[in-house]
């Protein structure tokens, strides 16, 4: 079963929302739209008894049942749902590090492990600047050849991002990687975050 953590504060908050629906046996379904793609999103939705799918995995959270969409299960591994109160009321947060790429095993092929780290750790950070990076190939001596896109293409800070961010993280998470090389044409600065 996928390990989905729902904090006590999130459970209590969701239970309050469910109570307002006034439907006996109402639960919550967690699922991933477009799983395994860069556009994957993790979602929560009410799940009345007549919409329960027999293949869903069920987690009893005491106050309600959490239904894990069967097709989303591999992408929900290590998902985390939390609620924190703030001045505006509160914030429900859903983190699913494996939504875009399902977690790979330590003995998976090198390109799969590199792509997993790019999708789950590096690209979410680059997305804040409208950027992304993808693996082109792995060449001799385990050098990862990468291509930057979006706000990273032509960005004046890309060499710092490459060495201090991308290379450092890839070498820590995938020890076989000895270096990274950027093959992006940075002369095109049209979408660059820093020019």
pLDDT in tens, 44-81: 999 999 999 999 999 999 999 999 999 899 889 899 99
DSSP 14-40: HHHHHHHHT-TT-EEEEEEESTTSTT-
What is the C-alpha separation between 95 and 115, in angstroms, rounded?
A: 19
User: Which domains does the chain show, CATH number per domain?
Assistant: 4-95 (2.60.300.12), 110-182 (3.30.300.130)
User: 152 a known binding residue?
Assistant: yes
Tokens 């991308």, residue? 166
pLDDT tens for 7-28 read 999 999 999 999 999 999 999 9
> Which pLDDT score is estimated for 191?
55
User: 155 a known binding residue?
Assistant: yes
Are 117 and 170 in contact, with CB atoms under 8 Å apart?
A: yes
Are 168 and 132 in contact, with CB atoms under 8 Å apart?
A: no
> Which pLDDT score is estimated for 57?
93
């Amino acid at each position: 079963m996928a390990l989905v953590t729902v904090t006590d504060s999130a459970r209590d908050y969701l239970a309050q929302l469910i109570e307002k629906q006034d439907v006996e046996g109402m639960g919550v379904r967690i699922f991933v739209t477009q799983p395994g793609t860069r556009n994957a999103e993790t979602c929560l939705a009410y799940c009345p008894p007549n919409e329960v799918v027999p293949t869903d995995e069920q987690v009893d959270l005491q106050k309600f049942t959490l239904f894990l969409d069967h097709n989303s299960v591999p992408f929900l591994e290590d998902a985390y749902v939390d609620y924190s109160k703030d001045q505006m009321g509160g914030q429900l947060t859903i983190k699913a590090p494996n939504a875009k790429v399902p977690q790979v095993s330590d003995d998976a092929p090198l390109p799969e492990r590199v792509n997993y780290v790019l999708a789950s750790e590096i690209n979410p950070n680059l997305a804040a600047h409208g950027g992304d990076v993808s693996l082109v190939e792995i060449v001799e001596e385990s050098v990862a050849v990468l291509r930057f896109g979006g706000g990273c293409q032509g960005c004046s800070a890309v060499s710092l991002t490459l060495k201090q961010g991308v290379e450092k993280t890839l070498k820590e998470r995938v020890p076989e990687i000895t270096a990274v090389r950027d093959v992006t044409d940075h002369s095109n600065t049209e979408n660059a975050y820093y020019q």
